[in-house]
Chains A and B, each alone.
Chain A
Amino acid sequence: MKVALWGTRGSLPTPGPETARYGGNTVAVEVRADDNSVLVLDAGTGIRNLGRTIPGTTRRVDVLLSHLHMDHIQGLGFFAPLYVPDMEVHIWGPPSPAESLRSRLGRYMSPPLFPVRLRDLPCRLTLHEVPVGDVHIGPFTVDASLVCHPGPTVGYRITAGGRALTYLPDHEPALGVRGPLLRDGWTSGGSLAEDTDLLIHDGQYTDAQYEERVGWGHSTFDRAVEFARITRARKLVVFHHDPDHDDVTLARLMNELVARSRPSMPVSAGREGEVFTL
């Protein structure tokens, strides 16, 4: 499968020349199988450009939302397939204990925040609540599990053709952990990432930023590497870049991270437009 990054930024879009390399759009990732089946991970502002590349012959698109924070749904209303009659669009995401996915999503997709209501979209829209165990979507097997982040949030493990992608864009595996991350099933997201071929993981904060933001739901660079190490991920892409980290800063932080942590797997900061083949 091919994995393309259309948005890598966390929290807020940060367009401008100083973020041109790593990108300013909020998170959106395309996963394409050999038979051209498409999954879209999250609907941040990057989903607009992604949507424009989906061929007119495509009849079904599945959008997998990790959670409903604004940086993960802000682009949804600008996703072209939603406006194609007869296009089957399936949106997967977590409900809350008290409210369905449809009603939670409808809070954004309705006036005054957005002019078009979910029910008025021309496509054939189906909503699915996760987690529900393994789901088969075309050639993909999708596993969603709740992970540590404020409000109901899932991570995804997507397998196809014997390869695995793990997507944990907003994840604080170290919340409440004093020393090393716990093993033996005691770390959030662990089973999603075990032996994965590509781990796309939250790495929003430096250690100094994290000290001020414990419980905000994000990971430091070092904890992302540690998480990749204990789950034996084969490649780590640091993701959900902090709006305060421009290209120069992020490149420096990554160099320092690699020098400091000497990771056993390749580690890089996700760049908008980057494509991985698994």
Chain B
Amino acid sequence: MQRELEIILTRQLASYLATPAFIVDPEGNLLFYNDPAETLLGHRFDETGEMLAREWSTLFSPTDANGAPLPPDELPLLIALRTRHPSHREFWITGLDGARRHLVVTALPLVGQAGRVLGAMALFWEGEAR
């Protein structure tokens, strides 16, 4: 099955960005993350490959500032998909390398012609360490 063109172009853009980027399909399943995201997540995309929403959303053990686990529904990518609006927040993850990281994330829904939701893209920045 070929991906939607808009998703293909988003991946090509992401693969050139120095900013970590993450792309999901309309169900929230992970389709791609770029090289800079590999550094942040502690794993190479070639090794993890595509992942179901329930896998990646818990894999990195996201928590809020107080260390309370964040349910998948409260992650920006899944909020962007659900609401069709951009979503922005900070949280903490544990990378697959075991390192704890503070992330600032902005997620954008990818909406094509005729209002088709094609997926979402998130851009990540590393926040101030605490």
Task: Name A's B-contacting residues (CB within 8 A).
Answer: 95, 97, 145-148, 152, 175-177, 185-191
Contact B5 A176 (CB under 8 A): no
Contact A147 B5 (CB under 8 A): yes
Contact B2 A191 (CB under 8 A): yes
Q: Which residue on B lies nearest to A231, using beta carbons? A: B2
Total number of B residues with any Cβ neighbor in A under 8 Å:
15
Contact B2 A152 (CB under 8 A): no
Contact with A along B4-30 (1 / 0, CB 8 A): 111011011101100000000000000
Least CB distance from A25 to B in Å reads 29
Contact B2 A176 (CB under 8 A): no
Contact A176 B3 (CB under 8 A): no
Interface status of B1 (Cβ within 8 A of chain A): yes
Contact B5 A188 (CB under 8 A): yes
Closest 6 pairs (CB-CB, A-B): A176-B12, A191-B2, A146-B5, A190-B2, A185-B2, A185-B3
Q: Which residue on A lies nearest to B12, using beta carbons? A: A176
Interface status of B113 (Cβ within 8 A of chain A): yes
Task: Name B's A-contacting residues (CB within 8 A).
Answer: 1-6, 8-9, 11-13, 15-16, 112-113
With contacts A146-B112, A147-B5 known, what are 7 further pairs, Cβ within 8 A? A97-B113, A146-B4, A148-B5, A148-B8, A176-B12, A188-B5, A189-B2
Least CB distance from B10 to A in Å reads 10
Contact A95 B113 (CB under 8 A): yes
CA distance A175 to B113 in the complex (A): 21
Contact B1 A191 (CB under 8 A): yes
Least CB distance from B51 to A in Å reads 15
Given contacts A97-B113, A152-B113, contact A177 B12 (CB under 8 A): yes
Contact B8 A188 (CB under 8 A): yes
Contact B3 A186 (CB under 8 A): yes
Least CB distance from A146 to B in Å reads 4
Contact of B1 among A152, A185, A189 (CB under 8 A): A185
B12 partner residues in chain A, CB cutoff 8 A: 175-177
CA distance A147 to B5 in the complex (A): 6
B15 partner residues in chain A, CB cutoff 8 A: 176
CA distance A21 to B2 in the complex (A): 36
CA distance A189 to B3 in the complex (A): 10
Contact A176 B113 (CB under 8 A): no
Contact B2 A187 (CB under 8 A): yes
A190 partner residues in chain B, CB cutoff 8 A: 2
Least CB distance from A170 to B in Å reads 13
Contact of B8 among A95, A97, A152, A186 (CB under 8 A): A186
